[in-house]
Chain A
């Protein structure tokens, strides 16, 4: 058993709006002249330290946690679970 760092990134699905990102883009970035920035999407980031026998096992545990404890809503959100490097 060893400690694995697992990252979770939760964002709204691509078809679902992200008013927070839109606001940062429109009212901050574009206003300050960075017109080359074409879009902003926000999300939620979690870093979990998991004691597991392997990296794959750690990822499986984190995926289960996110699903069972409703850390994200599969109807609205995309989720990415990956090892921290």
Chain B
């Protein structure tokens, strides 16, 4: 997005003169929405970011949170929505590259990737092409750098047909004492390592800060190709530099390129810098302006004390890693850029790095009323088996095997729970102990598009429950807010409400939001925004990975219990959409107190070895949760709806398919049922023992003495495994 006339005036004021073309390009890159958060910064301050575990909070390339007293986890989320819409394969791949480099900036070792993909309908040819390209791009890049993709989230909706949301996250671990927490000092050297700079990705952040043009062919400068081989060398050589204590500070060259890396580093530490652009290693002949704002991938900035330069150079040379020493820090707060001896720019770092924050106009559109509409006059209930089959084969619920089987999810031998078997991924720390962590990403674009505040709060809660369901204690989250055009009040309102929903729920659940990303301008060339989406990635602490819980049923005769109260909350559910074509109504209420109480109960029951399986109740409701547990365990069930503790329900479909929050389904060991009930009473948690696990492959739900749903497990499994057919046969 070009600078506005007001911004150009502001630049004149900052400089006290007319800017040079190089200076204008620097301001354009850094003051883009993508780099400067100018529209979101004021509201982002609402997010709670502290807890006793937080070592590095928001503001750096990545945060660090104490997982154990001697180990930190470094994790962050990033979006690559706009690049992936134009070139799905390379756009998604370079997204992975970028998020991995963020993790490297604290000196952590990247150990896991997550991909949260909100894509078009598989039957739409263009959307189908995007889906395949995105998944392949992530898979190829992740596999080549040797970091497994362990978890994620997918959603398919027509609003993403041409504008997908590609949110990726990376998790790294490091001993607390090893992370790079130094600060640059005047005189320290600025070294750029990695790929040679080229014309690729010129002003890419500017490209991501405006709606996509109808004719994206002209956006060729924004196309970048991932180079996983160089990324792997970056990972390996930085590990060596960090372990030898040779670098004081590391920063990724991402959006905004060199300009952003230098200006933010200087501004964060009250420094200035002298840069000689002609020292940069380049792939082709570039003018100073291009050197300043190129977003060539796989480059990083490291800060080195002059006395350690020789040792750094030895390590980089041994890895065949191209690098250049381009300048040094000064104390005066001014960034001076030279090219072949001539000064081309002189800009105060703080003013460049932090443009004036804007409070955007914010107004709900009339459409937002659909989130206030109670659901009460639905047509007659369809048959329950028809409903369950339709839900299980919905691409939003069906097994994501097609996606994760393309990824290497085992490289590094850290995975304890395989994708698809648990509500979150569980990984070992690999330090010789049984300690580990859980991680998961969640969003529900339908909820946030109907009711952005409560929908976003539900994303936080869903992530929280997923972490609890595997037996981990949630310790922190990062968020990615994907919204429309911030200059349009009725788009910006969704962003504002989603952010406030995250802030509220995170505060209530005691989860610090340690980092995140905002992606605006997710609208098509007609100006329609995609479904605004809040993606949450959370990390939980696992004391003993051997106790991690999966959701598959395991033992004949054990009891099936529902934890939590079921309310008639069909608004915004998958059921309402798949069976009646409705996307409206009051969405399920976030219930923070119930979440905390029920989570504590689950963690205690897991710790006391009472349970065989745990599954949180999410999209599709109770019936879908039960079916998933049965299908994955290849065991039947026999349950009764009469025993499900519910309030105010008038129809059976409200019990089976409501997506009421704060609920879990658990398999209780048959000998432990009385203890389980006692624990629930003691903690004030509502539980219902609703039936048993069978050794024959039948799935039955009864009411009174009548079966209201009875199906062969193979029919349900077939529906659940239908995603591959939908995508592969979709064109």
Residues of chain A having any CB pair with chain B under 8 Å: 12-13, 15-19, 22-23, 27, 69-70, 73-76
Contact = CB atoms under 8 A, between A and B. Distances in A.
A17 B86 contact: no
Contacts of A12: 225
B220 A15 contact: yes
Given A23-B229, A75-B220, A75-B223, A15 B90 contact: no
B220 A13 contact: yes
Given A73-B89, A76-B90, A18 B217 contact: no
Contacts of A74: 217
B225 A18 contact: yes
B224 A17 contact: yes
Given A17-B200, A19-B230, A76-B225, 20 more contacts: A15-B199, A15-B221, A16-B200, A16-B225, A19-B227, A19-B228, A22-B227, A23-B229, A27-B320, A70-B129, A73-B87, A73-B89, A73-B133, A75-B87, A75-B216, A75-B217, A75-B219, A76-B87, A76-B90, A76-B223
Contacts of B129: 70
Interface of B: 86-87, 89-90, 125, 129, 133, 198-200, 216-217, 219-221, 223-230, 283, 320, 731
A22 B731 CA distance: 35
Contacts of B220: 13, 15-16, 75
A12 B216 CA distance: 16
Contacts of A18: 225
Contacts of A69: 731
B225 A19 contact: yes
B184 to A, nearest CB: 30
A74 B133 CA distance: 14
Contacts of A70: 125, 129
24 contacts: A13-B220, A15-B199, A15-B220, A16-B200, A17-B198, A17-B200, A17-B225, A17-B227, A18-B225, A19-B225, A19-B227, A19-B228, A19-B230, A23-B229, A27-B320, A70-B129, A73-B133, A74-B217, A75-B86, A75-B216, A75-B217, A75-B223, A76-B90, A76-B225
Contacts of B224: 17
A12 B320 CA distance: 25
B86 A19 contact: no
B226 A19 contact: yes
Nearest to B230: A19
Nearest to A26: B320
Contacts of A16: 200, 220, 223, 225
A19 B229 contact: yes
- The 5 A-B pairs of least Cβ separation, nearest first, read A19-B227, A17-B225, A70-B129, A76-B87, A23-B229
Contacts of B227: 17, 19, 22
Contacts of A75: 86-87, 216-217, 219-220, 223
A69 B129 CA distance: 9
B124 to A, nearest CB: 12
Nearest to A31: B320
Contacts of A76: 87, 90, 223, 225
B126 to A, nearest CB: 8
Contacts of B320: 27
A68 to B, nearest CB: 9
Contacts of B731: 69
Nearest to A27: B320
Contacts of B225: 12, 16-19, 76
A18 B198 CA distance: 12
